[in-house]
Structure 1
C-alpha cells in the first residue's frame, strides 16, 4: 500500500464490544459501526450472560457473538480480545456511539505510527442534561488522566475508546486480571500494556458515551472504589516510582551502544 492518505491502514481490524443486558444500547452502537467510513473486518460481541436480547441484536447487526460465562467486564473484555482475529483490536462499550471516522482514524494512526502499539481515545457525553455534557465530560476525563497518569507512570486507557495491536495483547493476555469482576479492566490493561508498549493519545478518535457514571452517587462511588482496588492490586511491584525506574533502566539498556561495557 502506498501513499499517506486516510486510506492507509494497519491490516485487518477487529472491534470488540462486551455486553450484558444492554440490547438497545448495543443496537445503536452497531448502527453507528455500520456507518463507519472504514468498515471493521469483524465485530466481536461478548455476551456476558445477558438475560435480554443482546445476543440476538448482535447477530442481526452482523457481529460474531462469543459467550463469556465468567461474570465481569474484565473476563468479558479479555475473552473478546482472545477471539479477535484482526491485527488491530479496537474496543468500545455497548452504550457507545463512535464517530463515523472512528475506525478509520485509529487504523490510520496505527499505520503511521508503527512504533506505538496502544492508542487511547477520549469521549463526549451524548445523553443527560445538554448544558452539562461538555463540562462534565471534560471534568470526568480530565480528572481521570490527572490522577492515573502519575499513578501509572504513563497515559491511562479508557475502555470506551481504545485500540491495540493484537501482538501487544498476546504479550499481556496471561497476565491481566480476568477473574476479579470488581476491577476496572481498562486500568488493569493499562498497567500491563504500559510496562512494555508505548501508548499514544488520539484526540481525533471521536466517541460518544453515556452519562451512566453519574446516574447516582452510589454508582459513581462504586467506580471510585473499583479504581482504588485495581491500583492497589498491582502494588507494591507496580508502585509508580518503581515502574518509572524500570522504564528508565529499559531505555538506558536500549540506548547503550553495542561496544559499551557495564561497569
Structure 2
C-alpha cells in the first residue's frame, strides 16, 4: 500500500494545531510523515508544535519554516516540495482527521492507479448536528462541486494528490499574488488540464471549523468571489453548478448560530476538536487492546 504524507500549512494557529496533530497521529494507519509548515507565525504556533513533538518523540512529525513569502500558496508548495511520501495529503491547521483518514487515502490511490487527486466530505466540529452537516456537505460535493461536466474539484481542507502528479503541475499552478483565487480549485483545474483523474470518496472524512462563517458579510462575499475569479483565470474550464450559492444560503443561519454555540461550549468547558472523533478513537484503542490480549 502507498504511504501518505500529511502537509499542514500554518499561520498563527496555536489554538488548534495541537488538536490537529492529535487527530493526525491517532490513525489506523500511521502516516509516513506529518509536515507542519509554519509561515511567519507571530503567536505560539511553533512552540505548540515543538512541545507536541517533545511529548510524542516517536511520531513522524517535522516542523518546517517557509519564511520567504507570506501566503498559503507558497507555504503549501514548500510542504509539497519537501514531502517524501507517495501521496501528499493536504489539510488546514484547524482540521480534525477521521481516525481512518490515512488508511482511506492510501487505499484510494493504491486501488486506483489512475487517480491523481482525491477529496471527500467535511463536517463542522464546532457546530451542533455534525452528522446532518456531514450528510449535507456530502450531498453538495457529490452533485455540484464539479467542473468540466462532472470532474471532481478538490477541497483544500480535505484533499490529497499523488506525489508524481504534483511534480507535473508544481511549476504551473498559479501563484495568485493578488490573493483572489481558491488555491485548491486552481490545483484541481491544473490536474484536469493535464487529463489527470480526480476522485471523490464519501469515506475520506475530515472535521473543519465553522469559524469562517463568523465574519462580516463583506469578508464572506469576497471569499465566495474566489470561485468566479479562479475559473476566470482558467477560461478553458467551466462549471454547471455554483456551490457558493448553497453557502450563501447557509451563511446567515451559521453566522447567527456560531457565536451562540461557542458560548455554550465554553460554559460546559467542552473542547469540540478534542471530542470530534473521541468515540471512534476509543473504539480503536479497545480493538487494539483486544488484539494484544
TM-score interval, normalised by the smaller of the two chains: 0.7 to 0.9
String of CA shifts for 1:37-83, please: whole Å, max 9, x gaps: 11111111111211111122223334322222312212211111111
Of 14, 17, 20, 2:8 maps to 17
Change (3 A) 1:116 1:98: same
The 8 Å contact of residues 157 and 208 in structure 2, kept in 1 or not, is answered as: yes
The corresponding residue for 2:118 is 119
The corresponding residue for 2:43 is 52
Change (3 A) 1:158 1:221: same
Distance 1:137 1:151 in 2: 25
1:201 maps to 2:192: no
Distance 1:203 1:141 in 2: 7
The runs of at least 4 consecutive aligned structure 1 residues that moved more than 4 Å come to: 133-148
Q: How many residues end up aligned between the 2 structures?
A: 229
Task: Calculate the aligned-residue CA RMSD, in Å.
Answer: 2.2
Distance 2:222 2:135 in 1: 20
CA shift for structure 1 position 223: 1.6
1:224 maps to 2:221: no
Distance 1:35 1:240 in 2: 37
Unpaired stretches in structure 2, ≥5 consecutive residues: 54-60, 241-293
Q: What are the within-5 Å matches in structure 2 for residues 167-178 of structure 1?
A: 167-178=164-175
TM-score (norm 1): 0.79
Of 191, 194, 202, 2:189 maps to 191
String of CA shifts for 1:137-157, please: whole Å, max 9, x gaps: 555665566554145751110
1:234 maps to 2:234: yes
Distance 2:148 2:135 in 1: 20
Change (3 A) 1:97 1:240: closer
Change (3 A) 1:183 1:141: farther
Change (3 A) 1:108 1:144: closer
Distance 2:230 2:209 in 1: 22
SS of residue paired to 2:154: coil
CA shift for structure 1 position 224: 0.5
Unpaired stretches in structure 1, ≥5 consecutive residues: 1-8, 242-263
TM-score (norm 2): 0.71
The 8 Å contact of residues 121 and 134 in structure 2, kept in 1 or not, is answered as: no
SS of residue paired to 2:152: coil
Of 148, 162, 167, 1:165 maps to 162
Distance 1:179 1:150 in 2: 20
Change (3 A) 1:179 1:136: same
Change (3 A) 1:215 1:141: farther
The 8 Å contact of residues 18 and 76 in structure 1, kept in 2 or not, is answered as: yes
SS of residue paired to 2:188: helix
The corresponding residue for 1:27 is 18
Distance 1:44 1:191 in 2: 25
Distance 2:81 2:112 in 1: 24
Change (3 A) 1:145 1:73: farther
